[in-house]
Structure 1
Amino acid sequence: MLQVNNISLSYGPRLVLDDVSFTVAPGEKAGLIGVNGAGKSSLLKIVAGIQEADSGKVMLPRSFGYLSQDVAHETSVAEGMTVRDFIFNSIGLDIAIQTYEALTNKIAEEANAAHLPTLLKHFEQAQDALDRLGYYDADARAEQLVAGLKLGGATLDRLVQTLSGGQKTKLALARLLFQAPELLLLDEPTNFLDVEATEWLMDFLAKYSGALLIISHDLDLLDRSINKVLRLNEFTHKLEEYRGNYSSYLTQVGDALA
């Protein structure tokens, strides 16, 4: 569970967040909304540990993934990597494969029988690691993400450094989704997606078994992929919570004003 307790933030004399508290339960999907400048991205960065609050505390689940609005730079570490290796690297699968292949070759070349029991034990551990990381269907899962997000025909064998900026942004999202963390933190994930890729992402997030906290200007996405709205009030700088999707939120606000 994500638990955010009493977060406050100011930029100089300007108050942005005032004693903000909320939870996102396992499997729950929350949309964070508010006018521009209300502090949505700042709050998401605080939750992700990228930015410090003036006060308050955040408790995160064991695994989480964060996608900022400026993610293309994250692929700079992928110099010389293929799309496959960059995606697999997010969970250490690339290293596990290299270890397995190295042990396979070493066992085949080992002339000293006395060394084989130790090598075979390490080989068994390497196999267990591949099983744990989902190696045997990893290519299929990665290809599904690359195809769904429309990376312009990029294959898993293509070098990351040859991709365009837009493709790299989509790849960073694919890499994050491949990790399948307990909690996804997404800041405007559809900014570089066309209509078809956005539709695919909506369906993916709606079916995602983990929890979600998302900022998006795409109201269809907020209708189809969330079951709770968290609104940052630009006047009070506090957070308001509404059950249901974005359309339900509009109805609740309209009823309150009627």
Structure 2
Amino acid sequence: MSQNGGLITFKDASYEHDSTKPILKLANFVVRRGAKLTLMGQNGAGKSTLFSLITGKLKLDEGDINIQPRTSIAISRQIIPRDELKLTVLEFFEQCFDEKVYNIEPKIDEVLEVVNLAPSEKMKDEFKQRVVGSFSGGQQARLLLASALIQNPDVLLLDEPTNNLDKAGIEHLTDFLKEYRKTVIVISHDADFLNSFTQGVLYLNTQNRQVEQYN
């Protein structure tokens, strides 16, 4: 595949957790702007590790990851850090941004709607003053997903986003992703969800440690 027009390009990329756990070995692949891709591979293949390499949380042992300048990336985290549990919902979303976002409340309302956690109209203000730690585990997972969506990133990385969503929540998220005009890479075991909006596959091959692309 030509590497022209790639938003994210892995070139001769190698990474291992230790000498017995290689994840990538001289892998080459390209993610194009606006692509909506499923990241697939066996359990333990290193799918979440690949996300951490894209976000810069982890660094390659060899090779390069080239990401176009000024590309914003957001990932749906799996757990809320303890120090964030004492934040209000409003504060939790405000801290997603480096700079103060004016008129953030309508944006919060919108993403809460997407993850099917929106309160009634008269409860909206009270809801935003609730402490994050007062929500159930499933509700906290929805807040984490919403905190990635609100950033409107150039690259949205979603790790099992439907795990804590009910049927209506999955439908809301699917509609949102269908309309999303930027790049999405998703890890999920929900075939119906994936088939509804993704257009290609990145397959993490555990035999040769390459990332294979299928359209």
Task: Specify the TM-score bucket, using the shorter chain as the normaliser.
Answer: 0.7 to 0.9
Q: 1:65 aligns with which of 68, 74, 77?
A: 74
Say whether residues 1:3 and 2:13 are aligned partners: no
In structure 1, what is the equivalent of residue 95 of structure 2? 89
Note if contact 2:76-2:161 (Cα within 8 Å) is conserved in structure 1.
yes
Note if contact 2:39-2:185 (Cα within 8 Å) is conserved in structure 1.
yes
- Spell out, residue by residue over 1:190-235, the C-alpha distance to the aligned partner (whole angstroms, 9 max, x if none): 2222222112111111211111111111112221121121111222
In structure 2, what is the equivalent of residue 219 of structure 1? 191
Say whether residues 1:233 and 2:205 are aligned partners: yes
Instruction: Answer with 1 or 2: which has the greater Rg.
Output: 1
1:88 shift after superposition: 2.9
Q: 2:111 aligns with which of 137, 140, 145?
A: 145
| AA of the residue aligned to 1:77 | E
For 1:78-227, list aligned pairs within 5 A: 79=86, 81-92=87-98, 95=100, 130=102, 135=103, 138-151=104-117, 153=119, 155-227=127-199
Q: How many angstroms apart in 2 are the aligned matches of 1:51 and 1:230?
A: 19
Considering only aligned residues, what root-mean-square deviation do their CA atoms show, in Å?
2.2
Q: How many angstroms apart in 1 are the aligned matches of 2:175 and 2:65?
A: 29
Note if contact 1:143-1:156 (Cα within 8 Å) is conserved in structure 2.
no
**Structure holding more helix per residue:** 1
1:161 shift after superposition: 2.7
State the SS of the aligned residue for 1:72: coil
**TM-score normalized by structure 2?**
0.83
After the TM superposition, which of the residue ranges 14-23 and 29-38 deviates more from structure 2?
14-23
State the SS of the aligned residue for 2:95: helix
In structure 2, what is the equivalent of residue 26 of structure 1? 33
In the alignment, structure 1 segments of 5+ residues that lack a partner are 97-129, 244-258
**TM-score normalized by structure 1?**
0.70
1:22 shift after superposition: 1.6
In the alignment, structure 2 segments of 5+ residues that lack a partner are 1-6
Note if contact 1:152-1:167 (Cα within 8 Å) is conserved in structure 2.
no
Q: How many angstroms apart in 2 are the aligned matches of 1:88 and 1:232?
A: 35
Say whether residues 1:35 and 2:42 are aligned partners: yes
